[in-house]
Amino acid sequence: MKAAVLHALGELPRFEDVPEPVPGEGQEIVHVTACPLTNLDRVLAAGTHFASRAELPAVCGTLAVGRLADGLRVLFRSPGGTMAERAVTRREWCTPIPDGLDDEPAAAIQNPGVSTWAALEWRAKLRAGERVLVLGATGVAGRIAVQLAERLGASRVVGAGRNPRVLASLRELGADATIRLDQPEDALRAAFRAEGGFDVVVDYLWGRPTEVFISTLGSSDMELRFSRTRLIQVGTMAGAQVALPAEILRSSGLEVVGFGTGNAPPAADLARLLGRVLDLVAGGDLRIDVNRVPLAQVQEVWNLDQKGTRTVLIP
């Protein structure tokens, strides 16, 4: 069968023939129909993620949509790779896809949908009426964050990003305002300050944009006050590090936590979240745009900027 195979960390995967997967005990074969290309796939293959594989060659991809032997249409995960015509999975790693939802959006929504909802609800404990800033709002996950923040009752949602076309589209997704990140830093600081404070920041960027935002927090007097800004670190598109001045932590209510595999909700809660996210997309209440590409073109599209649209590979 054909698959996208990584031969060395840092290389592009190759579209080539591999042996059919052999199910182990408790596993079954799934016929793959749609496989999202996420930034997680890219950093795993680049060797820059803490979970990058040591044993290569290996089939890329961690989740996809497919059909089990009995015809059930599922979103599934597989540690053996999913960017292939067939993969192995276990029933407990499968979530049935609601009727009316196409394979491609179902495949695309799992990673940004579940992680964003969990970041807002589980890590930030977002309450109705709070003000939310999304750093990296022009990305696939950022666009989901704008929609879910509004759905979870935020009173104001501000999206920050660079791409002007995608930034402009955030209003129709529920953003109350947008901020251009590619402006001089003094102007960017002024734009953040003009918003008057945020309760929750969902951060897909880190690096310099997040440093500039953090620099707008803090006070220069010794008045006693209580404030909280819960910054949820989710992605590192703009850098792996930030400088965090101690005085900001003492003179503001900044709280920094991450969301990822190391601090995820219990599996049953995640499964419930996934079901809710799939139902929202199926009902047209959560939008994710997809770009269908044949798996044979995996190399050509691997590093393309997705511009707010998720590439979904079709075996």
Ligand X SMILES: NC(=O)c1ccc[n+]([C@@H]2O[C@H](COP(=O)([O-])OP(=O)(O)OC[C@H]3O[C@@H](n4cnc5c(N)ncnc54)[C@H](OP(=O)(O)O)[C@@H]3O)[C@@H](O)[C@H]2O)c1
Residues that bind ligand X (CB under 6 A): 38-40, 111-112, 115, 136, 138-142, 161-163, 166, 181, 204-205, 209, 234-238, 259-260, 306
Tell me the closest approach of the beta carbon of residue 116 to ligand X, in angstroms. 7
Give exposure, 194-204, as e/b (b: 16+ Cβ within 10 Å): ebeebbbbbbb
Which residue, 86 or 178, is less far from ligand X as judged by CB? 178
Which residue, 40 or 132, is less far from ligand X as judged by CB? 40
Alpha helices in 6-159 (DSSP H): 39-46, 103-109, 115-117, 140-151
Which residue, 53 or 162, is less far from ligand X as judged by CB? 162
Which residue, 172 or 221, is less far from ligand X as judged by CB? 172
Tell me the closest approach of the beta carbon of residue 1 to ligand X, in angstroms. 28
Tell me the closest approach of the beta carbon of residue 176 to ligand X, in angstroms. 18
Residue that is written with structure tokens 């209440």 in the block: 285
Q: Rounded to whole angstroms, how far apart are CA atoms 249 and 252?
A: 6
Which residue, 44 or 88, is less far from ligand X as judged by CB? 44
Between the alpha carbon of residue 225 and those of residues 12, 181, 221, the distances in Å are 52, 30, 11
Tell me the closest approach of the beta carbon of residue 142 to ligand X, in angstroms. 5
Tell me the closest approach of the beta carbon of residue 43 to ligand X, in angstroms. 6
